[in-house]
Structure 1
Amino acid sequence: MDSALVIGGTRFIGRHLVEELLEHSYDVTILNRGTRENPFADDDRVDRVEGDRTNDSALEAAAATVDPDAVFDCVAYHPKDVRAATGIFADCEAYVYVSSGAAYGREEIPKREGETPLEPCTAEQATDDSMETYGNRKAEGDRAVFAAAEQGVNATSVRPCVVYGPHDYTERLDWWIDRVNRFDRVVVPGDGTNVWHRAYVEDVASALRIVAERGEAGEAYNVGDRRLVTLGEMVELIADEFETDIEIVHAGTRELEAGGIELDDFPLYRGYPHVLSTAKLAALGWESTPLEEAMARSVAAHLESDRDGSERGPDREAEERVLGILDTF
């Protein structure tokens, strides 16, 4: 494959995917509405087609104009959009849908492709825009991919867990990096051993390319760091990058009440472990970035940005009240 169309391509996963494809000598075109800054505006290696991916006519025009070998659908949030895209790009060598680990409908450790059932999706959920139905809609998008493959389309799905790294607009990791950077004492919810599987964004980008090149039609592939770390270990990784000593202060439900905080208010906290098996993707030759290296790049990007994650978690004043209670014990 020589040419690729990235639907999206300017914000987070799509932006890293474009860079990954360029590094592997693809001719790249991005399709988006142009409502966000285009980081490739001055890069003559990247062409751009303006269009709304929810408009089938825009996709048809891109298919005719670009005639890509591979299509990467980074911003398909409703199953009807996946069904349309798999039809419009049916003759391409590969169509890769960016799904999500949230598509899984049962708590298992780990969640495995083809074994752990997916979320159901009603007609009402399929057209909803709320986060409550995000997993349902992604699951139905997966089923659209499987149905297309049965009709001969080389369609595949990639399911990332929580993605982090440079240009992460969610700022979930930024909140923790900011805490470690600014304070000697960092409040960690619970005992710090909870696990919410994470995926470094450059590894998600390489997974998308590898699945397009080597994946099997009708298959889904999980992607996440090959080495799992707890929330507490993640905070320690950040501290190691700053070469600083911090005190991790654990706080349970009762202690957090002093600050009006709940466990789920902390970014990247999850009560039940969320773990995806990545063996199927690794069998294609994919590898993940060492955690220390991934964190170093994430911290460097954080320091170069104006992101602090302040809207993602508890404010420091509330945490200070919790620390005050703990200090009296």
Structure 2
Amino acid sequence: MNILVLGGTRFFGRKLVENLLEEQHDVTIVTRGMSENPFGKNVTHIKVDRKDVASFKEALANKQFDVVYDNICYSPNEAKQLCEIFNGSIKKLVFTSTLSTYEANGTAHAEEDFNPYDYEICMGDTQEFTYGEGKRLAEAVFYKEAKFPVVAVRFPIVMGEDDYTRRLHFHVERILNDEPIGFANMDAEMSFIQATEAAKFLAWVGMNDVEGPINATANGIISLRDLISLIEDKTNKRAKIALLGTDEIRSPYAIPTSWYMKNDKATSLGFTFSNLQDWLPGLVEAISKVSVK
């Protein structure tokens, strides 16, 4: 297939491109040129900033793709722009969405808990919305205005050794350095997915007959208390826990109540997810080894 990837040079986006190349697809990546192209001549590389609307449209005008992966759309304006460029010229869009489309209310969320087809659209740029609201509005624009099939893949927090957000690293490093971590609710439970599995899932939905919103998460959940206990076990250090505290010490996982999702839809369509407890201890151990100062 002829495939375009927006956001394909780091973390799970990079792993997605690697998967697509292994399957011998023709891959084009779009970047601002700020990051190194790790694939060399194995991909077609278009350098353009999507926020430069005119240049972005010019760079992609009249190009035909079987599948477009958009890992870096965060606003309704960006979603509308993509529809205007590609309506009539692509066969499918895979949009990377998020657990943040759902309210953190202590329940296990299924896809129907947020319906983008009926969501009222308010146009605007990324800085005008929270992360979750920007993704909700982007989904709404795609499902109302796209003239091509759309899959909105809703991921929880993606984990990996090469995670540039370093959210899990934050906890490991602060425990190793005897620095406090602030939480709102240690008993809150979360779901996660590993970067390699996120990339595998994106490739899978692109190549299969899948449409609409779809959750993608590893099987199983873990409380923040148990996550900290796991890190303590792997680092042989005791965590210093504070009640929220300043922005500097506040955990990126400092949620007030449990926040996780079901993966029943994807499982019923044939994707087999890993079990969180099978890989999380190894990941924590690997991060702890490289984090020791």
> Which band: TM-score by shorter chain?
0.7 to 0.9
Q: CA deviation at 1:246?
A: 3.9
Q: Aligned match of 1:70 in 60, 67, 72?
A: 67
Q: Give a deviation string over 1:67-88, Cα, whole Å, max 9, x none.
A: 3221000111121221221343
**2:232·2:238 contact (CA, 8 Å) conserved in 1?**
no
Q: Give a deviation string over 1:78-118, Cα, whole Å, max 9, x none.
A: 21221221343333222111122212257361122123456
Mapped to 1, the partners of 2:3 and 2:97 lie a distance apart of 19
Q: CA deviation at 1:174?
A: 0.6
What letter corresponds to residue 284 of structure 1 in structure 2? L
- Matched ranges for 1:210-289 at <5 A: 210-217=204-211, 219-240=212-233, 242=234, 244-247=235-238, 253=243, 265-289=250-274
3-state SS in 1 of match to 2:266: helix
User: Where does residue 38 of structure 2 map in the other structure?
Assistant: 39
Q: CA deviation at 1:220?
A: 0.4
Q: Give a deviation string over 1:217-275, Cα, whole Å, max 9, x none.
A: 3x1011222111111222333455x4x54445665x4xx7xxx5589822312111111
User: Where does residue 146 of structure 1 map in the other structure?
Assistant: 143
User: Where does residue 197 of structure 1 map in the other structure?
Assistant: 191
Q: Aligned match of 1:207 in 201, 204, 207?
A: 201
Mapped to 1, the partners of 2:288 and 2:23 lie a distance apart of 27
C-alpha distance 154-169 of structure 1, shift in aligned 2 (>3 A): same
Mapped to 2, the partners of 1:78 and 1:262 lie a distance apart of 25
Larger Rg computed on CA atoms: 1
C-alpha distance 297-115 of structure 1, shift in aligned 2 (>3 A): closer
Mapped to 1, the partners of 2:66 and 2:184 lie a distance apart of 48
Mapped to 1, the partners of 2:284 and 2:82 lie a distance apart of 33
User: Where does residue 81 of structure 1 map in the other structure?
Assistant: 78
3-state SS in 2 of match to 1:224: coil
- Matched ranges for 1:7-18 at <5 A: 7-18=6-17
Q: CA deviation at 1:23?
A: 3.2
Q: Give a deviation string over 1:19-64, Cα, whole Å, max 9, x none.
A: 2322333222210110123333xx4322211112232553453364
Identity of aligned residues (%): 27
Residue 49 (str. 1) matches residue 46 (str. 2): yes
3-state SS in 1 of match to 2:113: coil
User: Where does residue 6 of structure 1 map in the other structure?
Assistant: 5
TM-score of the pair, normalised by structure 2: 0.82
C-alpha distance 179-133 of structure 1, shift in aligned 2 (>3 A): closer
**1:97·1:158 contact (CA, 8 Å) conserved in 2?**
yes
Q: Aligned match of 2:160 in 165, 184, 189?
A: 165
Unaligned runs of 5+ in 1: 309-329
Q: CA deviation at 1:303?
A: 4.9
Unaligned runs of 5+ in 2: none
**1:214·1:284 contact (CA, 8 Å) conserved in 2?**
no
Aligned-CA RMSD value: 3.3
